[in-house]
Amino acid sequence: MHIGLIGGIGPAATVVYYQRLTDKLRQSGDKLELTIVQADVYELIGNSLADRQQEQAHIYARLIDRLKAAGADCVAISSLGGHFCFDETVKIASLPLVSALTPLDTYFQRKGQKRVGLLGTEIVMRTHLYGQLTQTQTVAPAGDLVALGQVYQDVATSGICTQDQREAFFRAGQEMIDVQGADAIVLAGTDLNLAFDNHDPGYRVYDALDVHVEVLAGLASDALTLDDLKPDTLL
């Protein structure tokens, strides 16, 4: 299956999606058909902060039309924060969308994780992944979510994570483990690999991006069909 990816939000997330998808398909010996279109990260941030769901959905819809013209069979958004208008996009999209959010419930159940802490954009943390996890209890950092969300935004737009920024994420995760009783921390922001990859924060971490990539790799290799995903993804 030909995968369409809405990238650019931010650039580092697009790169890691590409890297992990190509790794998965190389390991399975399958060919990857992938087309990426470029969304504007600053436009997305502005629409997200102002809760302009319809506006961003129409931007996505135009990009999805390009992916359809290129031969894509389905589409993924390479940003969990960018899912804030997912339902609105599904209604007007010319291709099926494969959610990065809804497969997480099944995944955490399989892993035996009943209570997880979330790191990501301010809206992702504040809304507890838009309320999409119905079988897994979630907690968010108890401190200033706007400030921590700004740290994440700075990392996402720059494609660079400084040591101070990394330590801010690590502290927030540790607090959710120690004080709020989280079993593990979920990297619910697709740019957080910049902070956590090759670094040990001292607690269990799950990268939501890996769960999404697993689903997309299954579709790309034809090990999965779109019908296999319903209702685990919002198609």
Whether residues 116 and 202 fall in one domain: yes
Whether residues 8 and 59 fall in one domain: yes
Q: What is the pLDDT of residue 229?
A: 83
CATH number, residue 127? 3.40.50.1860
When pLDDT is cut at 50, 70 and 90, the band that residue 108 belongs to is very high
The stretch 140-147 carries a mean pLDDT of: 94
What is the total count of domains within the chain? 2
Angle formed at CA 123 by CA 121 and CA 125, multiple of 5 degrees: 70
Q: Which residues, at least 6 apart from 104, have a Cβ–Cβ distance to it below 8 Å?
A: 129, 132, 133, 136, 186, 208, 211
Q: What is the pLDDT of residue 231?
A: 58
Whether residues 91 and 11 fall in one domain: yes
The two structure tokens encoding residue 207 = 């990268």
Q: What residues make up the domain containing 33?
A: 2-100+210-229
pLDDT at 233 over 70: no
Whether residues 155 and 113 fall in one domain: yes
Q: What is the pLDDT of residue 106?
A: 87
The stretch 150-177 carries a mean pLDDT of: 96
Whether residues 126 and 204 fall in one domain: yes
Whether residues 141 and 168 fall in one domain: yes
The two structure tokens encoding residue 27 = 């390991």
Whether residues 203 and 117 fall in one domain: yes
pLDDT at 225 over 70: yes
When pLDDT is cut at 50, 70 and 90, the band that residue 132 belongs to is confident
Whether residues 30 and 107 fall in one domain: no
Q: Are 169 and 195 in contact (CB under 8 A)?
A: yes
Whether residues 94 and 10 fall in one domain: yes
pLDDT at 162 over 90: yes
Mean residue pLDDT across the chain = 94
29-43 tens-digit pLDDT: 999 999 999 999 999
The stretch 187-193 carries a mean pLDDT of: 94
40-99 tens-digit pLDDT: 999 999 999 999 999 999 999 999 999 999 999 999 999 999 999 999 999 999 999 999
Q: What is the pLDDT of residue 235?
A: 44
Q: What is the pLDDT of residue 228?
A: 86
pLDDT at 234 over 80: no
pLDDT at 217 over 70: yes
Whether residues 138 and 153 fall in one domain: yes
